[in-house]
Structure 1
Amino acid sequence: MSLSGLRASTIALVSATMVAVSPLAAEPVGLRGYNAAIGDSSISGISSGAFMAVQFGTAWSSVIKGVGVVAGGPFWCAKADADDFMNGYTLPIMHATGSCMVGPPRDMDDYLAKADAKAASGDIDPLQNLARQKIYLFHGTNDAVVARSVTDAAADFYRHYLGDAGRGNLYYQTAIGAGHSLVVLQQPAGNRLNDCKDNAPPYIDQCGYDQAGVILQHIYGALNPPNRGQLGGAMQRFDQSLYTKGREAGALSLGENGYVFVPKACEDGGACRVHIALHGCKQDAGEIGRRFIDDTGYNAWADTNHLIVLYPQTKASSYLPFNPQACWDWWSYVDHADSYVTKSGAQIAAIKAMLDTLTAGAAAPATPAPGDGTPRGLTIVDTSDTSAALAWTAQGGAMTYRVQRAGPDGAFVTVGDVKGPSFGDSGLAPQSTYRWRVAAVVGGVEGPPSGEVAAITRATPAPCDNPGSCPIGK
């Protein structure tokens, strides 16, 4: 779809990885509670879903520990405010389809001031919470829908609140030749997904890149390998109108039904976590069926790692609210007020009600068994041309991890301390070999280092002024 076509209505945005289709309940019902601590929840999204993920993760930063942003922008990007609607409804949509898509975005100070004001008023959680969130960002070099400068602005928004101490919590991948899409591994011939460069429905591109796995491991640390075969868990359909505070789901541009994948271990009462996966425009179940839900790779990772995946759904509407491409509300098309970025925003409140229900059965957390102080399973989850995403298995009692890197000279130096079992290392040279090791810091004492891992950074993509025809790279 052309940018002019997007502008004329709203936005086209997206998601991706093929897994076996799981069973689906015959009749939609309400969600049930599981043994899942709400503070271990996370969220990710593609395009309009990415904008919503940023909004939700910022509004509810007290319970969201990680955010995945694929082709999205900063908090309050469309700048929909009360004054905008006093002067007509055209301004927010022009921001959304203008500076928030083709770029450049507006002054960062505006977005930061809005977030600070909403936190000061209590409409969103304290922004200090953002310093502990794990943030994954992605922009494909063939993305012809959302400009690189927009996702750069999202990275700058998070860097502001992370500060120097939290810089290892952010990882930004910009060296893959994907179009506007959520990116997956190569699929068997005949699959209905796209080639890597594509900027078209279903906005799931095959680039040999397991984006769902990278997102989840940057947030949660090293995970068990995904289940690429028949899934043991079940896909359940549920009635979204139960979570809209008495309003009809359609009045919020939400679909009648949402979906949730529940691993058997979670169904049986095991301790689990919830990840919310948000589709993009023209990617809802009414438009592309269950391809976002079944083919993006989240379920394969969830099945082996005690992860419940919630898939809320929007719905296209050509009247009121005007949302003909089933985008998430990131320019205030529902209630025409700036509450859309806050806890009271209609769609944010509905998603939070779903999350509250799923986590209602959480048991008191068990005290983790102390290990020997040595982080296990250190792995390189991903590399860009200038960054690397590291993950390892959490150690009981370890509050901080110290990351060390060795360059070509072979000497290890400390590059940062981080809370949580992942680290986004940055400032690397393209096509260069590095080694890393990690040590747990307990009570101020650094323990023995992990085993070493090595990786070669990717090449920097060649300049290209025509996304969609740029080299894919390796």
Structure 2
Amino acid sequence: MRTGPLCCITVALTAVIMAISPLAAEPVALRGYNAAIGESSISGISSGAFMAVQFGTAWSSVIKGVGVIAGGPYWCAKADADDFINGFTLPIMTATGSCMKGPPPDLNIFIAKADAKAASGDIDPVQNLRRQKVYLFHGTNDAVVARPVTDAAADFYRHYLGDGNLGNLYYQSAVGAGHSLVVEQKPQINGLNGCADNQGPFIDQCGYDQAGIVLQHIYGALNPPNRGQLTGTMQRFDQSVYSKPDDTNALSLGDTGFVYVPKDCADGQACRVHIALHGCKQDAGDIGRKFIDDTGYNSWADTNHLIVLYPQTASSSFAPFNPQACWDWWSYVNHEDSYVTKSGAQIKAIKAMLDALTANAAAITAPAGSPDQAPTALAVVDTSDTGADIVWNPVKGATVYRVWRADADGPFAAISDIAGPSFGDSGLKPRSVYRWRVAAIVNGAEGPVSIEATASTRSTPAPCDSPGTCPVGR
């Protein structure tokens, strides 16, 4: 046997090839997993946030939670067939104007469109939105999308949530981030931005684990993320399988998408699917796999039975005209208002991917519960200047939870009943200490309260007329 340098080089190269072979292989179709489609969720940044709102509204029957990072309300660009002349006119002007710089069009316009599309059956009933968990984020240094635009998205959801379900929504607007998906400090990763930056790859380090907060607001308390070597696999897949009858170029989609599958999910255990949508200029063609690998979703997915789907757009300089690889939130594909409905070309493609991943879901039986159980793992995962995001482990059989709140040393009072293991508190005082407890309601009986969780709200950001130069703060 040869044992010289050449042999060592050959062995080393073989090891490298084996290590990268799952990603070097040709993309294939997605495999089905034991993942119930009704447990699915979606989040996105910028154009991905607008698309997340569109998809989550169109398919509200299967999407249980939505994360909106630097995005706006449903149908913000108001694209309709009558608005296009030679494929270009009002929608792109509205999208890059009032839907980014603000103030956005009147909220009643978006509500009327959603109501009309639901009435016609083009989207799921808007009543489903009452049960969705919604996380919204606007960074105080965002120089791309103005605060009133994300405020309008919050108002859109508040309209459908109604007074009794406002705790399903949590809005963070006191972090000094630029236009970006926000991560914790990662000095070991090259190419990520400082907290106040508004430039590619639009991933800012603010000491804020946004992926984890989004996922826990949707699903409740989760296991700690795996910060080391992940146990699952990142797989490439052929997006043309899911764009049919169109090819990917016609929809401004990339040829290849990505999906992260934890080992437990690959082995057949019950899992859930989260769809993570990049923003403009964040596709793999522009920044490689930074959005896929460095935004934190995979670390949380690895320890929490979560499959993460990363669909990809692609830039297009011709028809459709999409030079920055944005998601279609102004109808650049077909120039009709169907882009915000189930029949929208990109929505159909993403839904086909989700259908494929959830094809082998086992039947779910409702767990029996007992009213003598208190929720566990109660934690405050985030605070703003006027709000807090509280999560806990679900209690078997519980349909409703009662949330109790107290200030630093005062008595507790029940403030809300909420479905699902998270609660977005609001109307709090800045720089103040609060305490929370939660009790499960099973078969109409309220059980014992949990242990306390305590947190302090943030300071209100100082006024700043030049986003990108504002103080980052805490």
Corresponding position of 1:33: 32
One-letter code aligned to 1:152: D
Please state if 1:401 is matched with 2:401.
Answer: yes
Corresponding position of 1:463: 463
Contact 1:22 1:231 in 2 (8 A): no
How far apart are 1:368 and its partner, in Å? 2.8
How far apart are 1:365 and its partner, in Å? 1.1
How far apart are 1:291 and its partner, in Å? 0.2
3-state DSSP class of the match of 2:84?
Answer: helix
Higher relative contact order (CA 8 A, sep 6+): 1
Corresponding position of 1:15: none
Corresponding position of 2:440: 440
1:88-237 → structure 2 map (5 Å cutoff): 89-189=88-188, 191-237=190-236
Corresponding position of 1:414: 414
Corresponding position of 2:11: none
- Distance in structure 1 (CA, Å) of the matches to 2:352 and 2:73: 24
Cα RMSD, aligned residues only: 1.4
How far apart are 1:90 and its partner, in Å? 1.3
One-letter code aligned to 2:400: T
One-letter code aligned to 2:460: T
Q: TM-score, normalised by structure 2?
A: 0.94
3-state DSSP class of the match of 2:237?
Answer: strand
Contact 2:369 2:442 in 1 (8 A): no
Corresponding position of 1:263: 262
- Distance in structure 2 (CA, Å) of the matches to 1:224 and 1:27: 33
Query: C-alpha deviations, 1:197-230, integer Å up to 9, x for none?
Result: 0000000000000000000000000000000000
Query: C-alpha deviations, 1:129-156, integer Å up to 9, x for none?
Result: 0000000000000000000000000000
Corresponding position of 1:7: none
How many pairs were matched up? 455
How far apart are 1:366 and its partner, in Å? 3.9
How far apart are 1:56 and its partner, in Å? 0.1
Contact 1:25 1:235 in 2 (8 A): no
Corresponding position of 1:240: 239
Contact 1:144 1:199 in 2 (8 A): yes
1:242-391 → structure 2 map (5 Å cutoff): 242-368=241-367, 370=369, 372-391=372-391
How far apart are 1:442 and its partner, in Å? 1.3
3-state DSSP class of the match of 1:201?
Answer: coil
Contact 1:24 1:234 in 2 (8 A): no
3-state DSSP class of the match of 1:165?
Answer: helix
How far apart are 1:27 and its partner, in Å? 1.5
* Structure with max Cα Rg: 2
One-letter code aligned to 1:290: R
Contact 2:270 2:305 in 1 (8 A): yes
How far apart are 1:369 and its partner, in Å? 5.4
Query: C-alpha deviations, 1:346-389, integer Å up to 9, x for none?
Result: 00000000000000000011443536421011000100000000
One-letter code aligned to 1:358: L
Corresponding position of 1:12: none
Query: C-alpha deviations, 1:322-357, integer Å up to 9, x for none?
Result: 000000000000001110000000000000000000
One-letter code aligned to 1:466: S
- Distance in structure 2 (CA, Å) of the matches to 1:196 and 1:408: 31
How far apart are 1:23 and its partner, in Å? 5.4
One-letter code aligned to 1:100: C
Corresponding position of 1:9: none
One-letter code aligned to 2:168: N
- Distance in structure 1 (CA, Å) of the matches to 2:390 and 2:86: 48
1:74-93 → structure 2 map (5 Å cutoff): 74-85=73-84, 89-93=88-92
- Distance in structure 2 (CA, Å) of the matches to 1:114 and 1:366: 36
How far apart are 1:83 and its partner, in Å? 1.4
Q: TM-score, normalised by structure 1?
A: 0.94
- Distance in structure 2 (CA, Å) of the matches to 1:304 and 1:33: 20
Contact 1:22 1:230 in 2 (8 A): no
1:119/1:231 CA distance change after superposition, 3 Å:
same
3-state DSSP class of the match of 2:127?
Answer: helix
Contact 1:404 1:414 in 2 (8 A): yes
How far apart are 1:25 and its partner, in Å? 5.5
1:216/1:23 CA distance change after superposition, 3 Å:
farther
One-letter code aligned to 1:382: D
How far apart are 1:443 and its partner, in Å? 1.9
Contact 2:388 2:424 in 1 (8 A): yes
- Distance in structure 2 (CA, Å) of the matches to 1:250 and 1:88: 17
One-letter code aligned to 2:155: D
How far apart are 1:192 and its partner, in Å? 1.3
- Distance in structure 2 (CA, Å) of the matches to 1:168 and 1:298: 24
- Distance in structure 1 (CA, Å) of the matches to 2:87 and 2:222: 49
- Distance in structure 1 (CA, Å) of the matches to 2:297 and 2:106: 35
- Distance in structure 2 (CA, Å) of the matches to 1:86 and 1:123: 25
Structure 1: which 5+ residue stretches go unaligned? 1-20
Structure 2: which 5+ residue stretches go unaligned? 1-19
Query: C-alpha deviations, 1:85-109, integer Å up to 9, x for none?
Result: 2586210000000010000001111
- Distance in structure 1 (CA, Å) of the matches to 2:21 and 2:53: 29
- Distance in structure 2 (CA, Å) of the matches to 1:238 and 1:454: 44
Contact 1:391 1:422 in 2 (8 A): yes
- Distance in structure 1 (CA, Å) of the matches to 2:210 and 2:55: 20
Deviating more after overlay: 406-415 vs 312-321: 406-415
3-state DSSP class of the match of 2:377?
Answer: strand
Contact 2:131 2:165 in 1 (8 A): yes
3-state DSSP class of the match of 1:216?
Answer: helix
3-state DSSP class of the match of 2:392?
Answer: strand
1:94/1:225 CA distance change after superposition, 3 Å:
same
Please state if 1:472 is matched with 2:472.
Answer: yes
- Distance in structure 2 (CA, Å) of the matches to 1:369 and 1:86: 59
